[in-house]
Every structure is written in structure tokens, then in C-alpha cells.
């Protein structure tokens, strides 16, 4: 992960403040500024982020191809 603000850091700040959250991760695919991500979180949140992202990644195939064979919305 690069040091400093990401290309979508302004959106990340907006979402974090709007949600009154301790941390936010924004991932954008093929956006106006291209594909990119920004993260604003404390060291404590960053420490648990890898496991959280792995859990989310493991759940994606079921969301895209549930047992019924239909795509989720």
C-alpha cells in the first residue's frame, strides 16, 4: 500500500466523516480517476483489516454464484 493519500482519498474522507466511522476503505473500479483505493484507519483497525478482507474475499464467490445458480443483487 502506498504512503500518503490515494486517488480517492477525498471520497474516503467524506464517507468516514458522514458515517462518523473510525475507519473507511474505498475501492473504485474503472472510476473517473481510474481504478484505485483509499484507506483511512487507525493502526488498530489496520491490524485487523487483512483478516477482514480475507473473510470478505472468501464470501464473494457465494454472493456471485449462490447455490441456486442465480446471481445476487
For the stretch 15-47, pLDDT in tens is 999 999 999 999 999 999 999 999 999 999 999
CA distance 61 to 16: 28
**pLDDT score of 8 more than 80:** yes
Range of the domain at 46: 9-64
Residue 40 in domain: yes
Higher pLDDT, 28 or 70: 28
Read off the pLDDT of each residue in 51-63 and give the average, rounded to a whole number.
92
Dig out the grid coordinates for 17 from the structure: 466523516
Phi-psi group of 4: left, alpha or beta (phi > 0 → left; psi -120 to 50 → alpha; rest → beta): left
Residue 71 in domain: no
Residue 53 in domain: yes
Higher pLDDT, 5 or 23: 23
Average pLDDT, the chain: 87
Q: List the one residue out of 29, 31, 39 whose CA is nearest residue 5.
A: 39
Amino acid at each position: 500500500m502506498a504512503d500518503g493519500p490515494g486517488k480517492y482519498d477525498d471520497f474516503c474522507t467524506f464517507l468516514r466523516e458522514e458515517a462518523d466511522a473510525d475507519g473507511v476503505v474505498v475501492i473504485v473500479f474503472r472510476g473517473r480517476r481510474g481504478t484505485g483505493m483509499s484507506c483511512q484507519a487507525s493502526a488498530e483497525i489496520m491490524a485487523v483489516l487483512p483478516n477482514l478482507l480475507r473473510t470478505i474475499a472468501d464470501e464473494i464467490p457465494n454472493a456471485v454464484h449462490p447455490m441456486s445458480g442465480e446471481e445476487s443483487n
